Amino acid sequence: MVELRRDPIRNGWIIINTNRIVDYNSNETTHKHIDEKNCPFCYGNEYMTPFPIVAHNKMGHPATDKKWDIRVIPNKSPVLAIEGELKRSPEGMFDVMTGIGANEVIIETSDHNKHLYSFTNEEFVNVIKVLQGRIKDLKNDIRLEYILPFKNYGYKAGEVICHSNTQLIALPIIPKIVKEEMENSKKYYEIKERCLFCDIMSQEIKDKKRIICENNNFIAFTPFASITPFEVWILPKEHAEDFRNINDRKVYELSQISIEIFKKLYKALNDPAYNMVMHIFPLKQNFIPYYHWHIEIVPKILQTTGFELGTGIKVNPILPEEAAKFLRGIE
Amino acid sequence: MVELRRDPIRNGWIIINTNRIVDYNSNETTHKHIDEKNCPFCYGNEYMTPFPIVAHNKMGHPATDKKWDIRVIPNKSPVLAIEGELKRSPEGMFDVMTGIGANEVIIETSDHNKHLYSFTNEEFVNVIKVLQGRIKDLKNDIRLEYILPFKNYGYKAGEVICHSNTQLIALPIIPKIVKEEMENSKKYYEIKERCLFCDIMSQEIKDKKRIICENNNFIAFTPFASITPFEVWILPKEHAEDFRNINDRKVYELSQISIEIFKKLYKALNDPAYNMVMHIFPLKQNFIPYYHWHIEIVPKILQTTGFELGTGIKVNPILPEEAAKFLRGIE
C-alpha cells in the first residue's frame, strides 16, 4: 500500500509505503557490510535485481550481464510505484493521492569496493550521462512533476547496500523543499531582477572565504548558512542552464569538481556518511530565470535533536568559513 | 561565537554556535551510559552544573542541595546565550543576528534511573508546573519571541546525559516550523472560521481509528500524516487555552495521559529513542483563535535519507491507523 497524504498542519505531503523493508537496527560503522557474493549489485548476481532499464559498458554502449560497467534498475522496494493512475481524493477532512512515481537505482560501478572519491573522471562522466538520459526519458511520463537524484552514502545516511549507487525518485508533485527554494528565489528575483543563486556566487567569489575549489564552469563552497558541518554546494557558474542538456565539456568539469570534493571529504572526515541531492528544474518547465540547478552534499555526522524537530532551525557547531578553509587545505 | 544566520535560499534561520561540544561518535544502545558518580544531574554533583534557577522538593517548595526533587539549571553548553544585545546586521548580501536566547535544563527527578514512563502522576505534575513557571518568567524578557520545550531521549535522539531531563530554548524569533503551523492554520481559519486543530480532533473522534487514548481534557492520537512510525500527538480538547495557565485539574490529566503514552511506547518499541516537543503560543500573543498548543512525540527509529533531505517529504512505512491500534492494545 502506497499513498501520499497531505499534512494539514505542517503542510506538504508525506508518503505512506507499507511495502518498504524497515531496518530498525543502527550500526556503528560507516557501512553495513555485504560481501560481493551476496551483493545484488555485483557481477553474477544480476538475477537478484529487477530487469535493468539501462546497462552500459564504459564506452557508453549497451552491455549484457557480466560485461556492464554501469547499470540502472528499478528499486526492488520502491518509495513510489510506477504503475497505476494518479488520483487525488478526500478522506474526511484529509487529502490523499495515489503513490505514483518512479524509483530507480543507478549502480555506478561493477566494482564492489569503489566509491565516488576514487572514481576516474571517465567513470564519473558516465554516471552523469546516464542520469541525464534517465531524466530525459522520465520527462515523457506526463504524470510526473519532479525528479530528485540523491545518494545515501553510509549507514547513518540511510544506505541499504554498500555497493556504490545513486537513486532517483520521480514524483507526481513538486516537493516542499524545492517549492520553498523556488518561491524564495522568485521573491528575490521580483525585487532585484537577478537570480539569487548567481548573486550568492558573486558574493562568495568576492568574499573568497567559503570557496573550496572551482574550475571554468563550476564552483564548490560551504553555504553561508550551512545546515551541518562541512555542507558543500556545487553550482554551475552560468545561469540556469538545464542539467539535462549540459554539454560534454561541462559534464567533464562537473565530474572533476565532484570527485575533488568527495576526495576532500573522505580525507577530512575519515570517510563520513553523507547525503547528496541534486535540485534540478521541475519537469514541466524548461527555463526559469530565477532558479538555478545545483548539488548539495550534507555529511551525516551529528544527531538531530528535539530542538531541530520543533523549530526547523539547525544548530551547526562549525563555522562554514573554517570548514571551507580546512577542505581547501586538503590535497 | 554564537550567531543566527538567515538561509537565503531555504529561508528561515540557522544557528552557528562554535562553543558547543560536539560528539561525533554514535552508539549502539539507547543511552550512553554515565554512572551516578559522574552524572552532573545526580545528588552530590550539583557543583558540576551552573547555579540552579529553580530547585524544588516534591511539595513544590524551594529546596537546597541534596534535598531537591526537581531542579532547573542553565545549560552548560547553551545553544543561545542569555547575555548580550539583540542586534541584526547585514553581511554582504547575507543577514546575521546575535545569538541571544536562553537554554535551560529541567532535571526532572533526582533518581538517576527513572524515566518518564515510570514517573508517578505527582512527579509529572511537578515537571509541568515548573515548566509553566519558567515560561511565565522568561516571557518578561522582551528580547524573546518564542519558547520551545523539548526532550531528547536516547542517544539517537540527541541525548547527551542519560539522567531524565527536558530542555527549553527561548528564541529571539518565531521559528520556521511554528510559523508554518501558524500560517497554515490561519489560512484554514480564514476560510472555515474554525480552528484547524479542533477540526482535526473532531475528525479523529469520528474516525476513531487513530486515537490511542483520551481523558476528559486531553486526547492522544497518531496524526493522519505521521512523519515517522508511532508518532503521537497530545492535544487539549478545549480550544486554544494558554498552556502557561491551564488549571490543576488539567495539569493532572495532562500528566496522566503523557505517562500513559510514554509507557505504551516503552513497551511497544522496547524503550525507543524519541524526541518530544511542545508547541505553545508565541510569547507576545495571549490568544489566537486559530492556533492550538500541543505536544508531538516522534520516535527516532529510522535513518533519514537523501530523499527526505532533498524533498522535505517523509516516508513512513507504518500506517498511522496500525500504529494507533497497536498502541491502544498495550496495557
Q: Which domains does chain A have, with CATH numbers?
A: 2-18+29-176 (3.30.428.10), 191-328 (3.30.428.10)
- List the single best residue of A14, A23, A321 to mutate versus B (max B Cβ within 10 A): A14
By DSSP bridging, strand A70-74 and strand B165-171 are: unpaired
User: Is A309 close to B150, i.e. CB distance below 8 A?
Assistant: yes
What is the band of A21 on the pLDDT scale with cuts at 50, 70, 90? low
User: Is A307 close to B5, i.e. CB distance below 8 A?
Assistant: no
Distance CA A123, CA B133 (A): 61
Place of cell 501558524: B182
Question: Above 70 in pLDDT, residue B22?
Answer: no
pLDDT for B20: 66
**A229 vs B contacts (CB less than 8 Å):** 22
Nearest residue on chain A to B303, judged by CA atoms? A158
Alpha helices in chain B (DSSP H): 121-138, 176-192, 196-207, 248-269, 306-311, 320-328
By DSSP bridging, strand A315-316 and strand B13-17 are: parallel
Cell numbers representing residue B236 in the block = 487539549
What is the band of B25 on the pLDDT scale with cuts at 50, 70, 90? very low
ipTM higher than threshold 0.90: yes
**B302 vs A contacts (CB less than 8 Å):** 22, 24
Identify which of A9, A28, A156 has the shortest CB distance to residue B28: A28
Q: What is the mean pLDDT of residues B300-326?
A: 93
Question: Above 90 in pLDDT, residue B261?
Answer: yes
pLDDT for B77: 86
| DSSP code for B17 | E
Cell numbers representing residue B285 in the block = 500573543
Identify which of A9, A276, A306 has the shortest CB distance to residue B276: A306
* Beta-sheet strands, E only, within chain B: 2-6, 13-17, 54-56, 70-74, 88-91, 94-98, 102-107, 146-153, 165-171, 211-214, 218-221, 232-236, 274-279, 294-299, 315-316
**B79 vs A contacts (CB less than 8 Å):** 307, 315
User: Is B16 close to A316, i.e. CB distance below 8 A?
Assistant: yes
Distance CA A45, CA B115 (A): 48
Distance CA B292, CA A61 (A): 60
CA distance A177 to chain B (A): 5
Nearest residue on chain B to A291, judged by CA atoms? B9
Nearest residue on chain B to A192, judged by CA atoms? B93
Structure confidence by residue, pLDDT tens digits, B83-104: 888 889 999 999 999 989 999 9
A to B CB pairs, distance under 8 Å = 266
Structure confidence by residue, pLDDT tens digits, A161-194: 999 999 999 999 999 999 999 999 999 999 999 9
Nearest residue on chain A to B156, judged by CA atoms? A303
Nearest residue on chain B to A201, judged by CA atoms? B93
Cell numbers representing residue B258 in the block = 503523557
